[in-house]
Structure 1
Amino acid sequence: MTIGKAIGVAALVAACPLVAFAQTRITPEAFLEAVQGKTVMFHEFPTGMLVGTEEFLSPTLSVWRMEGRGCVYGQITTPDGKLCFLYDDDTDGLPVCWWTFQYEGRLMVRLASLNQSEIQEVRSVTEDGLNCPSTPIS
């Protein structure tokens, strides 16, 4: 490896919060199996800021709530190995999709977009529901 390539690789590794070889990809189905029937708190990685809370009602339906906002229901799909959510309030009609993985034993998701690298960590999994009104039939 040339010195230029070595410097480039080192810069890439330093710029990435999660080194690729430290991650273990898991299927969206395995992720859903771990959280189905549970309520999950997602935190931004690595800052730890709360992003929101999601209750996984079934493998195809969830309800999402951000602090200070109401409940939004989402249809869950798993195309091409991604975990995708199409929420009731999405104005563009396009789902938000994530790659699911484990990092140091923790469940994580990374936005499945080439131009964004948002990563969220599951910090809490409980049996408590969000008590959202008008839960659709799943």
Structure 2
Amino acid sequence: MKEVFGEQCEVLTVELNGQLVGSVMNFYYKDEVLPYYGGGTALARDVKGNDFMYWEVMRRAVGRGIKVFDFGRSKIGTGSYSFKKNWGFVPEPLFYEFHLVKSKTLPDINPLNPKYQLFIAAWKKLPLPVSQVVGPFLSKDLG
């Protein structure tokens, strides 16, 4: 296991026999840890690497006196929502306020929206170098 520590940021990387399993970037604020971005290799599924990685984040956070673990937001019905709920966390609704400039309704930019399913399936089949070139261009208007 490797880690990079700062006072407010930690990157935790899990390896098995020298092979990368997964990493997660965590931010600390007051008595809270927020795993901001994490990912795993194909090996992570086989060895339950993400389970171990998040357990280790929680264990280390407790050792630092952290009292709140914020798993972040996820849409109901997604894999990340199920993963987080399996840890026993109770979801809390998040409320947002929007100011619409050129539209009368909110866009439904949601991975569960059926109109995106074909695009998502095609994206998963793209070679990595192609997705790295095309991705920034396509995602510039999503934020």
User: TM-score scaled to structure 2, two decimals?
Assistant: 0.26
Structure with greater proportional strand content: 1
